[in-house]
Amino acid sequence: MRQHFEIYPLEADSFEADVRVLIHNSLRAALEQLSGAAQAELTAIETALKKTTDDEAQEHLVDEHVDVLAQELSQQRFLRNMALVALASRLTHALRKMARTAEHFRPRKRRYRSSSDSEFEGLWKEYSDRVSIDFGTNASRIAFVEPMQKVRNQIVHGGAEAHSWNSSTIESLQRGEETILDTSFSEA
């Protein structure tokens, strides 16, 4: 039975390597590339601004400068969102793989995830039952997982909109009423 337990450290090491190489290093490299490209554009715009005396040309260059900064910020947010999606997805994959591995030495007794459970709540129940992990004692170690999963789902399914329009908001707008955006995601 010892050989089955050796699979868990291998999966944990694989997870850590993937996080470091595929997620963190890729994010860092992409942000550096993005920053370098934006800085080159900004330098060119600033050089052109110093050379021109035409008011319309200066106004256009200032607008271009603002657009470059806004585009860079938007792309940075996108890259960070994708890194979070990758992290949450990779964590889910690792935990599910470990649960499947448990089949070899402790078969499933039942279905662990109910319709009201999140992916991770079902995994915590399964791990608790099948391999006797006390998640009450270790709650602080997993506290980040559920919010991360909710953010991941919002990014993937909601276009990463923190203050999205919900159906009642759209109906209110159509009736010409003042409305408030759905802020439940950003509040959580």
pLDDT digits (tens, 9 = 90+) for 135-174: 888 788 888 888 888 888 888 877 665 555 555 555 665 5
State residue 164 phi and psi, 5-degree precision: -85, 165
Q: What number is the average pLDDT over the span 42-55? A: 94
Residue burial 1-16, b: 16+ Cβ < 10 Å; e: rest: eeeeeeeeeeeeeebe
∠ CA 123-84-158, rounded to 5°? 90
Distance CA 165, CA 183 (A): 9
Amino acid identity, position 9: P
Expressed in angstroms, the distance from the first to the final Cα of the chain is 43
Please give the model's pTM, rounded to 2 decimal places.
0.72
pLDDT tens-place string over residues 89-121: 999 999 888 888 877 777 777 777 776 677 888
Domain ranges of the chain: 1-106, 108-141, 144-188
Q: In percent, how much of the chain has pLDDT > 70?
A: 78
- Comparing 138 with 63, which gets the higher pLDDT? 63
Q: 160 and 154 in contact (C-beta within 8 Å)?
A: yes
**Where residue 1 falls among pLDDT bands split at 50, 70, 90?**
very low
Instruction: Return the number of other C-beta atoms located less than 10 Å from residue 53's C-beta.
Output: 7
Q: Given this model, what pLDDT does residue 30 score?
A: 96
